[in-house]
Chain A
Amino acid sequence: EIVLTQSPGTLSFSPGESATLFCRASQNIVTSYLAWYQQKPGQAPRLLIYSASSRAIGIPARFYGSGSGTDFTLTISGLEPEDFAVYYCLQYDSSPHTFGQGTRLDIK
């Protein structure tokens, strides 16, 4: 099983700033089948990024995914008020698919 470790656990930024979130895999994800999700309270997760760096339909360009192998990042440039949420990475390369434990992005 591939274990995903997200860091940091919590981030605090002001609107307009940029934030970088990290997701490290315990094994090489050769296919780069790594996705990022945003979850707000009381809502289901929303797909932001797939295949490590491709934005899902309707996702603003300020969301940028990068990385390969075992290290992946999600960068959010110019934080908007609606971006403050919990973010999860998901690997869908091998079974069982696994999620990271999440990073909470708070307003400073």
Chain B
Amino acid sequence: QVQLQESGPGLVKPSETLSLTCTVSGGSINNYLWTWIRQPAGKGLEWIGHISTSGRTNFNPSLKSRVTMSIDTSKSRFSLRLTSVIATDTAIYYCARGEALYPLDVWGQGTTVTVSS
């Protein structure tokens, strides 16, 4: 079955850029909305945004000025970049699969990113 795996640095310095990649295995990357969600420790879930396999993006307005996403269908992976990070960007970051008319049904295990000097 489809599996997602997040990867990237676990520690990022304040004002720098957080970069994560999600690799899709066991299924096609095509025709889905590939999504990033984050969750500060002990808190709720925040939808960051998604990217389609055609490269169309949709971001949470609260993060839009700092977020970019990209996708490489040939390598079955997609990425998140969050610039100018601050301490409150510290969270578990999840990647997940969704569709236009269907919610997030496959999730990665999550990766913890800490913003600290």
List chain A positions with a Cβ less than 8 A from chain B. 1, 33, 35, 43-47, 50, 56, 88, 90, 92, 95-102
Size class of the B contact interface (CB-based, 8 Å): 20 to 34
Asked if B47 contacts A44 (CB within 8 A), the reply is no
Asked if B45 contacts A99 (CB within 8 A), the reply is yes
Which B38-85 residues have a C-beta within 8 angstroms of A?
44-47, 49, 58-62
List chain B positions with a Cβ less than 8 A from chain A. 44-47, 49, 58-62, 94, 96, 98, 101-105, 107-110
Per DSSP, are chain B's interface residues mostly helix, strand or loop, or mixed?
strand
- Given contacts A92-B102, A96-B62, A101-B44, could you give 16 more A-B pairs where the C-beta distance is less than 8 Å? A33-B103, A35-B104, A45-B107, A47-B103, A50-B102, A50-B103, A50-B105, A90-B104, A92-B98, A95-B58, A96-B49, A96-B58, A99-B45, A99-B46, A99-B47, A100-B44
Chain A residues, CB < 8 A from B47: 90, 96-99
Per DSSP, are chain A's interface residues mostly helix, strand or loop, or mixed?
loop
